[in-house]
Amino acid sequence: PAEPGTTVVFVLGGPGAGKGTQCARLVQDFGFVHLSAGDLLREERNRPGSPYGELINTYIKEGKIVPMEITIALLRIAMSKSGGKRFLVDGFPRQMDQALKFEELVCESKIVLYFECPEEEMLKRLLKRGETSGRVDDNIESIRKRFETFRDTSYPVIEYYDKIGKVKKVSCLNPVDKVYAQTRRIFDEMFK
């Protein structure tokens, strides 16, 4: 398990909601370490000699969830390498069994930050980003599949944490600064 005194915040929300954007701001103001599960998977995919490169790429393109053994291992390594104690775990867990496994093996989450955004808006943002991102999943076919996975498999994770009172919801249908003002308020209350 993680060191005593470790704080984990799960940062969830649909594809393109703005998780990464908001996490970058939180890092500046609250000194959390930002760990995007998607970024860690893309890094592992690009690492020469990785046995998982091809598998990860296929899953990402198809908008499917990479087997959790891989993702949890990457998160654990990144956590211990960082030397930090407060973590924003962005884009993970995406499936109920991943949530339970991570909390059993690593650390219970303190809160779940949920960035709520309508699909229409997320679609617009992702297509725009796709013009320059080079991400293999920023195209209309992959985006549709990502939305489907979010609805069917990842959203129930948010519902689970909501039932036990851990979810802090922020609407993403505003400019970045305004979304951040709301996010910041939550962190001011909890982590100042």
Give the x/- contact pattern for ligand UP5 in 62-101, rule: CB under 6 A.
-xxxx----x-------------------xx-x-------
Residue 137 CA to residue 18 CA, distance in Å, equals 16
Residue 42 CA to residue 132 CA, distance in Å, equals 17
Structural element, H or E, at residue 114: strand 109-116
* 179 belongs to the binding site for ligand UP5 (CB under 6 A): yes
Q: Is 28 exposed, middle or buried (0-12, 13-18, 19+ CB in 10 A)?
A: exposed
Q: Which residues bind Mg ion (CB under 5 A)?
A: 19-20
Q: Which residue, 186, 175, 6, is CA-closest to 89?
A: 6
Contacting ligand UP5 (CB under 6 A), which of 7, 8, 10, 17?
A: 17
Give the x/- contact pattern for ligand UP5 in 99-138, rule: CB under 6 A.
--------------------------x---x-------x-
Does the annotation list 95 as a binding residue? Answer: no
Count of other CB atoms within 10 angstroms of residue 7: 18
Q: Is residue 86 within 8 Å of residue 30, measured between CB atoms?
A: yes
Q: Which residue, 68, 77, 93, 9, is CA-closest to 43?
A: 77
Which region among 47-55, 78-86, 158-166, 175-183 touches ligand UP5 (by CB under 6 A)? 175-183
Residue 133 CA to residue 149 CA, distance in Å, equals 21
Q: Which is nearer to ligand UP5, 15 or 111 (CB)?
A: 15
Annotated binding site for a ribonucleoside 5'-phosphate: 42, 64-66, 91-94, 98, 135, 146
Annotated binding site for ATP: 16-21, 129, 174
Q: Which residues bind ligand UP5 (CB under 6 A)?
A: 13, 15-21, 36-38, 41, 59-60, 63-66, 71, 91-92, 94, 125, 129, 137, 146, 172, 174-176, 179
